Amino acid sequence: MIEITILSGKGGTGKTGITAAFASLAKNTVFADIDVDAPDLHLILKPEIKEENQFLGARIATIDRQVCTNCGLCKKECRFDAIHYRAEGGLEVNPFECEGCRLCERICPVQAISSEHSTNNHWFVSNTRFGSMLHAKMGPGEENSGKLVTTVRKNAKEKAREENADFLLNDGPPGVGCSAIASLTGVDKVILVTEPSKSGFHDAVRLIELVQKFNIPLYAVINKYDINTEIAKQMESFFLTQGIQLLGKIPFDEDMVNAIVNQKSIIEYRPDSEIARKIKEMWNKVTEPIEEIK
């Protein structure tokens, strides 16, 4: 089984639209939406949920004011300034500020503090018209530590093994933080979907730096390349110097958006279009069993 993660660095490059297109081409593949902060792939793949699981998020402390003696120690020691005096007396924890480190719980002289895992996060195993899919939903304001990403990936891998799948395709998170790292470690290939803008280029460079640290074969797609052909050219030569294989360039086309509006991949929506043909070519390049000699 080959595991591929699709990343974009910056959001809005059309990563999910392209992932959906790959999904409709991929045979014997399991899909995972590991952009847990803003998952969108399900809007096209329309999964039918088979299994729902709770993911234990970070802990949040609460103070039992019946027990608390108002000594103020916890408030003084909390490094995140999450504990406050209430106007009506007594202390309380602001759940949005609490990092769940349990320091206050451990130092409270009268054991007035306890902490519970947040139960706002869930992950799912589903069926879609293209195959099995794993995805998640995070509660608002939860800490996106990458742990949920790791959980979804781990279970997606198990599912892929169980089904004897040839590929596991991950729709990855934006950025270069811990969720991005969690989406990379140990994968076989990374596809970078970029767009030719200064900010897109800037973010791509940061992301490439990260992926190269992990020594993972990297492929690139320049989406909407004709928005700015000059930057597209610069990107192309940059990829060349970095040994990154350019899978292809996709022109700007409103049909990419229209496909999404119709909850379809571009392959389903415009099967005979130029874009569909290009994306097919790209998918073939990534999945070629023998690495290209270049």
Partner 1 sequence: MSYKIAVCSGKGGTGKTTVAVNLFSTIQTKWTKNVQLIDCDVEEPNDLLFFKDAKVINRSIVNQLVPVIDESQCTFCGKCEEYCEFNAISIIPSVKYASVDPNMCHSCGACLHACKFGAIQEHQHPIGELTSFSRGNQMDILEGSLKIGSPMQTKIIKDLKANACDESDILIYDAPPGTSCPVVETVSAADFVILVTEPTPFGLYDLRLTVDLMKEMQKDFGIVVNKAGMGDREVYAYIKEEDIELLAEIPFNREYAGQYAQGKLLSDVPPLIEQEYLKLAIYLKNRMSHD
In angstroms, give the least distance from the CB of 67 to partner 1.
20
Name the binder of 253 from partner 1, ligand SF4, none, CB < 5-8 A by kind: none
Among 61, 192, 232, 282, binds ligand SF4 (CB under 6 A): 61
CA distance 242 to 285: 18
In angstroms, give the least distance from the CB of 115 to ligand SF4.
6
Among 112, 160, 279, 282, binds ligand SF4 (CB under 6 A): 112
Name the binder of 63 from ligand SF4, partner 1, none, CB < 5-8 A by kind: ligand SF4
CA distance 225 to 200: 11
286 within 8 A of 247, measured Cβ to Cβ: yes
121 within 8 A of 51, measured Cβ to Cβ: no
Give the residue from 14, 105, 109 showing the smallest Cα distance to 63: 105
Site residues, partner 1 (CB under 8 A) = 8-13, 16, 37-38, 40, 43, 58-59, 77, 79-80, 96-97, 99-103, 106-107, 138, 140-146, 174-178, 181, 195-200, 202-203, 206, 209-210, 227-228, 230-231, 252, 254, 257-258, 260-261, 263
Pairing of strands 83-85, 29-33: unpaired
In angstroms, give the least distance from the CB of 116 to partner 1.
13
Name the binder of 108 from ligand SF4, partner 1, none, CB < 5-8 A by kind: ligand SF4
Name the binder of 206 from partner 1, ligand SF4, none, CB < 5-8 A by kind: partner 1
Residues near ligand SF4 (CB under 6 A), total: 27
Total residue count of the chain as it appears in this document: 294
Q: Which amino acid is it at 220?
A: A
Q: Tokens 């571009």, residue?
A: 266
CA distance 14 to 257: 9
Give the residue from 131, 137, 188, 147 showing the smallest Cα distance to 57: 147
Q: Tokens 């970078």, residue?
A: 192
Residues near ligand SF4 (CB under 6 A) are: 61, 63, 68-74, 78, 80, 82-83, 91, 93, 98-104, 108, 110, 112-113, 115
